[in-house]
Amino acid sequence: MLGGLDPDQRAAAEVPGGPLLIVAGPGTGKTRTVTHRLAHLVLERDVPASQCLAITFTRRAAEEMTERLQALIGPDAQQMTVATFHSFGLRILREHHVQLGLGADFGLADSARQHEILTAITGDERTARRVQAQLSPVRRGGDGDPETEAALAAYLAELRQQNLVDFDDLVVLAVQLLTDHPAIGEEYRRRYRWITVDEYQDVDELQYRLLRLLAPAGANLTAIGDPDQAIYSFRGADVGFFLRFEQDYPSAPVLALTRNYRSGVHILDGAIRAITPSTLVPDRRLHPASNRQAHPIVVHQAGDERTEAAFVARTIDQLLGGASFHSLDSGRVLGDGPGGVGFNDIAVLYRTDAQSHAILDELTRCGLPVQKRSHDRLSARPGVDLLVREMLHVAARTGPVADQLRLAAKAVADTVPEDTRPDIHTAVELLGPLAQRCGQDVPRFCREVLLGAEVDTLDPRAEAISLLTLHAAKGLEFPVVFLIGCEDGLLPLRWPGTEPTVAEVAEERRLFFVGMTRAQDHLYLTRATRRTIRGTQQDRTSSPFLNPLGEAIIQSEAPARRVRPAQLPLL
């Protein structure tokens, strides 16, 4: 099991037991290391597969880990529990619903149902929206104003009255259960003697408390992640829990993975320079493990967001060697391109979703296929909740989920205003790949929609350019990456009338580091000198994160355009 690992990976994978912290830089084989470690424990150290629990943060990561474990271990891998924090919490709630005062058939409230309940409680939709935005922060330990606290109490009471839980309940109630019922906590500690947590730098306080209940000091807990990729504080994640792991588990060895199998030396050099001013990893290093051809990082300055988008589209056209006959005829490209690059090899990353509009318009105008995703919850996308409700409502339907999704879309489109029908069509396209994976299991489909994020539906096989927020790009990789909007005010993000704190700037720098290290071969960093922000055109300056990169690794250029020869007269 360990024969194909590099020395660093093998050293981490063969630790026999007890707590272990693995600091895994981007592209260093994090998933490969933990899956081979689990396979080694089961096949070569006689650890029962049923005692292994692996927790990830996204459904996509859980599916990837499951597939790798099945390939390594075979049928016994089905006895392992691989889950996200929230899907694991849901499992705990299902098993012990009686102790929590829930019916066996309790449901999961989507965003629309939450809004309905809060509107009834507060008396108007505007207040309901404000309170709804505060629910998660307050339940994760934040302070709420008296109105929010009162609304929260009434909201939770109404949820329970309807035999419902919400997304936050999945972890909140699991922690409450294991705290209030020590015997149940002991039951889970006996069941899961080997626990692996991926992306440990992203845990929040409630998730941390759940892990401490499952894995006290001395437990067989393997935590893996990278504090320099901690980018989710807005969701309550606290990188401090990663940094205090050695205090929580004093006997834990700390091992590092530094061989990068993803990116060329030019990209790694730039990324290390970018993160160094605020790195949380002592002696931060990334060594290229492959001999990829060196392509200099390209920095491009555009006049505004439209010319920035035009640069992206034109460069993509050239990399592809011309996406259409018109590309060559119009002079957009000069030749066949470098070869080996397809639409699904390309990603355009941005800090805020508003930046995607100009890019999406330009790529669509040029006839280039795209798939756009964010890190937001899937159920928050317009039209999704209507489709899920329709599918749950008509429980008598049978057959493939994909067919039922289309039937639900048809039924919903008679009942909604005409101007919202495009949302239904977009939602069907978004949910299509998930519907195919779920076969004929409608409850599983609806559960996955409510628990998942938009980026979970990204189809890596689709012949389309990926448009992604930087947060959504975490965990992905592409041969070609455009990181647009490298401007002060976007990277780091600056809200009107405020100055980011030192901690906020450090996290924004980590976000920039994450974006750079998604690239395998080609990395383009673009910015505009003017940008329209909330309807007003503003002058922009370069992001301070570009300053440490150094002239040696930055090449500023624009794609060349072919000069079309004058057309000869017909006569």
In 3D, which of 380, 498, 451, 472 has the Cα closest to residue 129?
Answer: 380
Pairwise CA distance, residues 528 & 539, whole Å = 9
- Which pLDDT value is given to residue 562? 46
Question: Does 99 fall in a domain?
Answer: no
Could you tell me the residue range of the domain that residue 133 belongs to?
Answer: 110-161
- Which pLDDT value is given to residue 571? 60
Tell me the per-residue pLDDT of 224-252, one tens digit each, with 9 for 90 and over.
999 999 999 988 899 999 999 999 999 99
Residues 81 and 183 grouped into a single domain:
yes
Pairwise CA distance, residues 12 & 265, whole Å = 24
Residues 137 and 178 grouped into a single domain:
no
Residues 545 and 506 grouped into a single domain:
yes
Pairwise CA distance, residues 437 & 445, whole Å = 9
Residues 403 and 541 grouped into a single domain:
no
Give the CATH number, domain containing residue 485: 3.40.50.300
Instruction: Kindly state the DSSP code that residue 148 receives in the 8-state scheme.
Output: H
Residues 397 and 499 grouped into a single domain:
no
Cβ 251 vs Cβ 216: under 8 Å: no
Pairwise CA distance, residues 163 & 183, whole Å = 25
Question: Does 526 fall in a domain?
Answer: yes
Cβ 252 vs Cβ 242: under 8 Å: no
- Which pLDDT value is given to residue 461? 80
- Which pLDDT value is given to residue 65? 95
> pTM for this structure?
0.89
Cβ 36 vs Cβ 63: under 8 Å: no
Q: State which of 451, 481, 499 marks the end of a domain.
A: 451
Sign of torsion over alpha carbons 404, 409, 410, 411? positive
Pairwise CA distance, residues 172 & 210, whole Å = 9
Pairwise CA distance, residues 211 & 133, whole Å = 26
Question: Does 569 fall in a domain?
Answer: no
- Which pLDDT value is given to residue 331? 53
Cβ 117 vs Cβ 161: under 8 Å: no
Question: Which positions of the chain have pLDDT values less than 50?
Answer: 325-326, 559-560, 562-563
Residue type present at position 475: G
Question: Does 178 fall in a domain?
Answer: yes
User: Alpha helices of 394-500 — where are they, by DSSP H?
Assistant: 401-412, 421-437, 442-451, 470-473
Question: Does 564 fall in a domain?
Answer: no
Beta bridge partners of 487: 542
Q: How far is CA 484 from CA 136, 462, 467, 505, 559, in A?
A: 30, 23, 11, 18, 16
Q: What DSSP string runs through 310-371?
A: HHHHHHHHHHHT-SSHHHHHTTS--SS-SSS--GGGEEEEESSGGGHHHHHHHHHHTT--EE
Residues 484 and 503 grouped into a single domain:
yes
Residues 287 and 311 grouped into a single domain:
yes
Residues 87 and 120 grouped into a single domain:
no
Residues 225 and 269 grouped into a single domain:
no
Cβ-in-10-Å burial (0-12, 13-18, 19+) of 266 comes to buried
- Which pLDDT value is given to residue 560? 46
Task: Give the N- to C-terminal CA distance of the chain in Å, as an integer.
Answer: 75
The number of distinct structural domains making up the chain is: 4
Q: State which of 257, 287, 305 marks the end of a domain.
A: 257
- Which pLDDT value is given to residue 124? 86
Question: Does 168 fall in a domain?
Answer: no
Question: Does 562 fall in a domain?
Answer: no
Q: State which of 428, 451, 474 marks the end of a domain.
A: 451
Residue type present at position 468: L
- Which pLDDT value is given to residue 34? 96
Residues 28 and 119 grouped into a single domain:
no
Residues 294 and 313 grouped into a single domain:
yes
Question: How big is the chain, counted in residues?
Answer: 571
Tokens of 158: 């109404």
Residues 278 and 334 grouped into a single domain:
yes
